[in-house]
Amino acid sequence: MYFCKLSIITMKISHSSIRCGEQVLSFEKPLVMGILNVTEDSFYAQSRCTSADSIAARTHQIVAQGGAVVDVGAYSTRPNAADVAADEEIERLTFALQIIRQKFPDVVVSIDTFRSEVVRAVVKKFGSVIVNDISGGELDAAMFATVAQLHLPYILMHSRGTPQTMQQLTHYDDLLGEITYYFSAKIRQLHSLGVADLIVDPGFGFAKTTAQNFELLARMNELHILGLPLLAGLSRKSLIYKTLQCSPEEALNGTTALNTLALQQGASILRVHDVRAASQAITLHEQVSNYSPFTITQSVF
């Protein structure tokens, strides 16, 4: 008889934080970003909030259920989404942020936009926000300089093309290698401009096939080489509901499963529609990871 010791190690992410205006977001433990869409055509109908009452109610729900950030989007970025003029995007965001700032003045807000003029209009009226740019600066050459000049935190996402064309741009010779190179080049550019507060989003569902999305999730920990917090945006996306052959409305269980895997891969932020479920997943994951590394002793005959 002899004993075989198996060491099972859960990755712990080093403490880091970003500053948004006067507020600091710490990633000592993972955070939840709650989605608030002020659009008519977001892929998940229950996330759409277009009235003052629904915007206030949704913001309250995000905060009450443990959300640290409210992510406001006024331009649907689902595949083949209709284009929205910049003036219309600004009008929608202004309407929502007036309500949010009035009723929840201390909540941290991110705006889901790829347009620098939208960023400038929002910051001029409402102060600092996190910029959540699905294009990584590719759709507006002035975005990086704008974020630097306004001293804003920036979520750098990987994608290709536009929401109208991205699903035709899914060929990669080396998925993780090409994504890592993309981020490395853009991080250097942002740092050279003085942007210090950065978050990396691998862009699940953007210019990637279902199989590529699952590979990306399985290997997401490789992106820690970049030294920045990672955001996982998996909530109710097609890789879940197509795989499970269900609708987005039926994809909560699958979302929680993949969010838990993202936490195991070291995600610092979960961007979700269902804040309570994500907060619970984080709490339970923390209970397990607090006991890591641990050793299982197994008798082998």
Per-residue pLDDT tens for 127-166? 999 999 999 999 999 999 999 999 999 999 999 988 888 8
108 has which bridge partners? 69
**Active site includes 242?**
no
Closest residue by Cα to residue 122 from 90, 147, 146, 161: 90
Question: What are the φ and ψ backbone dihedral angles of 198, each rounded to 5 degrees?
Answer: -125, 145
**Active site includes 271?**
yes
Q: How far apart are CA 147 and CA 297, in angstroms?
A: 52
Q: State the pLDDT at residue 81.
A: 60
5, 237, 242, 276: which one is catalytic?
A: 237
Q: What distance, in Å, lies between the first and last C-alpha atoms of the chain?
A: 5
Q: State the pLDDT at residue 299.
A: 44
pLDDT tens for each residue of 3-17: 333 233 334 444 489
Residue that has been written with the tokens 């909540």 in this structure: 107
Q: Is the peptide bond before 293 cis (omega within 30 degrees of 0)?
A: yes
92, 186, 208, 271: which one is catalytic?
A: 271
Q: State the pLDDT at residue 1.
A: 33
Q: State the pLDDT at residue 293.
A: 59
Q: How far apart are CA 39 and CA 292, in angstroms?
A: 43
Burial 103-133 (b: 16+ CB within 10 A, else e): ebeebbbbbbbbbbbbbebbbeebebbbbbb
Mean per-residue pLDDT, 107-112: 97
Say whether pTM exceeds 0.85: yes
Q: How far apart are CA 20 and CA 198, in angstroms?
A: 11
Judge whether 251 and 238 are in contact, CB under 8 Å: no
